[in-house]
């Protein structure tokens, strides 16, 4: 079975960080061993405030004060929808590692390595193999490198963002 992210159907994401024994999301095929949600950073949420003001200003001349309120609410709804679409989940469940919509069976994982914060930039820059799969978010500081052993797939490893790299590495190791 190939570990290339494009060869897997989308995973169903959901939930907050979870410990051992937390029920998995629908479609995971079992109990979630570990789960973390990547929410956008607070500064990203603040950067969408102009959408609220813009919606209000566009509606104000045409519809008056009530329209401005409706336009502001519409701008806020748009901002929330876009920001929620930016969130994603990392999960170890049902014998698989899921990062966003990509998934890989844990039986194909050869080694898991925690990337120290001081080495993250180098791991994603000069040391990065161009064939690697990246499941990263700039606002999530930690990361792990998941080395794969799949002769049918040229992807040597995944780099996955996480706020709790050691916990994710331990969950993957336990799941193998």
Note the pLDDT tens digit of each residue in 40-50: 888 888 998 99
Q: If you average pLDDT over residues 89-105, what whole number do you get? A: 94
Mean pLDDT of 54-64: 90
Winning range, highest mean pLDDT, from 86-90, 124-128, 136-140: 124-128
pLDDT band at 30 (very low <50, low <70, confident <90, very high): low
Given a cut of 90, is residue 14 above it in pLDDT? no
How many other C-beta atoms are found inside a 10 Å radius of the C-beta of residue 82?
13
Q: Quick one: residue 170, left, alpha or beta (phi over 0 = left, psi -120 to 50 = alpha)? A: alpha
Q: What is the pTM of this model?
A: 0.69
Residue 32 predicted with pLDDT over 80:
no
Q: What average pLDDT does range 109-131 have in this prediction?
A: 94
pLDDT of residue 31: 66
Which pLDDT value is given to residue 3? 43
* pLDDT > 60? residue 29: no
| Displacement of CA 64 from its chain's centroid (Å) | 41
Over pLDDT 90: what percentage of the chain? Answer: 60
The pLDDT of residue 19: 42
- The answer for 132, left when phi > 0, alpha when psi is -120 to 50, beta otherwise, is beta
Query: Is residue 28 pLDDT above 70, yes or no?
Result: no
The pLDDT, as a whole number, for residue 72 is 93
């Amino acid at each position: 079975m190939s570990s290339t992210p494009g060869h897997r159907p989308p995973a169903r994401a959901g939930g907050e960080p979870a410990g051992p024994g937390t029920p998995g999301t629908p479609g995971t095929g079992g109990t979630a061993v570990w789960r973390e949600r990547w929410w956008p950073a607070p500064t990203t949420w603040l950067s969408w405030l102009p959408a609220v003001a813009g919606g209000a200003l566009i509606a104000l001349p045409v519809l008056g004060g009530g329209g401005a309120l409706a336009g502001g609410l519409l701008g806020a709804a748009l901002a929330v929808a876009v920001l929620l679409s930016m969130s994603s989940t990392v999960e170890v469940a049902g014998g698989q590692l899921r990062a966003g919509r990509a998934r890989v069976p844990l039986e194909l994982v050869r080694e898991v390595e925690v990337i120290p914060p001081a080495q993250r930039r180098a791991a994603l820059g000069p040391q990065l193999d161009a064939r690697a799969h990246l499941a990263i978010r700039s606002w999530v500081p930690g990361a792990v490198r998941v080395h794969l052993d799949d002769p049918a797939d040229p992807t040597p490893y995944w780099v996955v963002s996480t706020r709790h790299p050691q916990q994710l590495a331990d969950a993957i190791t336990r799941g193998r």
